[in-house]
A and B are shown apart, each in its own frame.
Chain A
Amino acid sequence: MFDSKICSYRDCRSYVSAPYDTCFHHSSIEERTIILDSLRRTLERKGLVKDVSIIGGDFEGLDVRDTSIRGSNFSFSTFRECDFSSSRVSTCFFDMCVFIRCRFDDIHARYSVFSGSNMRHCTFCGSTMVSCNFMGLDSTHNDFSGSDLYFSNFSMSRIIDTSFEDCNLRRVNFRASAIRDTSFLYSNPEEAFFQNEEALS
């Protein structure tokens, strides 16, 4: 798991970006460059990204294909046109992030958090995302087709023009979500929870 030390910057409660004693946001430009270079080198080797904490990062065109990401924290980050296809993601935190035109096809994610994130034009086709937290998701024009979403949580979300076709929705939670122009064709929504669902007119 990423380092649980708190940033030394005054009044900042974020986790540090190891080995430094400040969070990514409060790191110097040199420190940020070193952290990002290290991440890029790991990704180029298609290796294991683990125990990394980059809060408020800004990533564009990142190639994260066929990579394992474990115990890492990318809260409040922005990902533009990043490709996570065929990656394995475990116990990672992508809460309050922005994802634009990212690919998560054939990803295998478990116990990971995407809560409060804003997703636009992303694809999760053929993925396994078990016990993942998407609470408070703002989803527009995304495609989860053919995914196994067992025990995942989409409650309190705003889901617009999103496809959940041919998905396993067993024990998936959509409570109190606003859902519009979204297809559940060939899926099993009867095994998901929709109480308190608020339909957008």
Chain B
Amino acid sequence: MKVFCHFCDIGQVNTYVVTAGERDCRAIVIDPGDLDGGLIDIIESYGLEVAALLVTHDHEQHVAGIGKYMKVYPCPVYAYRSKVMGYGTRVLRETMRLDIEGFQVDVLHVPGHSDDSLVYVIGNAMFTGDTLAAGRVSSTSSMSGKARLIRSINAKIMTYDDNYLVFPGHGCPTKIRIERMLNHDLLESEVSLSEDLFQDPMDTFRHA
């Protein structure tokens, strides 16, 4: 497997091109934020054939390039939502294992940053979109939402082996080991977040 990392100026988002291997020209593109010269250069210089677009979540900076891909490299789009940027998708749900053109892709649904946030695991690489970045978790609309997101990350992502590579939607790559040791939000949550946030608010009255 090969992973090409590309920084899209628009939205400052990372787009990843994943290929099966040295002699295999099939590729999948994760988070098609744009189709700019740099990406076309990667695809054309390695003679890649774009087999699918994978969307981590339907925020414009991560999907704005779909229209261009449909014109230049038409292929199926996989996402949690049935329509992204007006294009129909192949809908993904919680914890699916897909076979996309020979790629074994594990899909994890980790809502929090958005309802449709997905994490893709291909081989030893994890593409986390805005759910988990180096040293922090994604922004949420409330503190209780953040607590739930952290619990989901701990339950679904941090259970993977220390050596898994993490490629986030923004910023630099990392590893599960590094996040376990140094992720400020995850470490802080262990200390400061009360379990009360996860309880049914009615419990307070029942126990009173």
Binding site for B on A (CB under 8 A): 1, 4, 13-15, 71, 90-91, 93, 95-96, 110-113, 115-116, 130-133, 135-136, 151-153, 155-156, 171, 173, 175-176, 196
Residues in B neighbouring A71, C-beta threshold 8 A: 2-3
A1 contacts across to B, CB distance below 8 A: 1-3, 123, 125
How would residues 19 to 59 of chain B score, 1 for a CB under 8 Å from any chain A CB and 0 otherwise?
A: 00000000000000000000000000000000000000000
Having A71-B3, A116-B181, A131-B173, one finds 7 other A-B pairs with CB under 8 Å, namely A13-B163, A91-B5, A93-B165, A95-B178, A113-B178, A135-B135, A156-B184
* Secondary structure dominating the interface of A: loop
Distance in Å: Cβ of B82 to nearest Cβ of chain A? 32
Asked if B174 is at the interface (CB within 8 A of a chain A CB), the reply is: yes
Which B-chain residue is minimally distant from A70 (CB atoms)? B2
* Contact pick for A151, options B123, B171, B177, CB 8 Å: B171
Assess whether B161 is interfacial by the CB under 8 Å rule. Answer: yes
Q: Are A91 and B3 in contact (CB under 8 A)?
A: yes
Report the Cα distance A133→B12, complex, angstroms: 16
Chain A residue numbers with a CB within 8 Å of B181 are 116, 136
Task: Please judge, given known A-B contacts A113-B178, A115-B182, whether A4 and B1 are in contact too, CB under 8 Å.
Answer: yes
Interface residues of B (CB under 8 A from A): 1-3, 5, 7, 12, 14, 123-125, 134-135, 161-163, 165, 171-175, 177-178, 181-182, 184
How many Å from the CB of B188 to the closest CB on chain A? 9
**30 A-B residue pairs with CB within 8 Å:** A1-B1, A1-B3, A1-B125, A4-B124, A4-B125, A14-B163, A15-B124, A90-B5, A95-B175, A96-B177, A111-B5, A112-B172, A113-B173, A113-B175, A115-B134, A115-B174, A115-B178, A131-B173, A132-B172, A133-B173, A133-B174, A135-B174, A151-B7, A151-B171, A156-B135, A156-B182, A171-B12, A173-B135, A173-B171, A175-B135
Q: Measured between alpha carbons, how far is A93 from B174 in the docked complex, in Å?
A: 9
Contact of A130 among B7, B123, B124 (CB under 8 A): B7
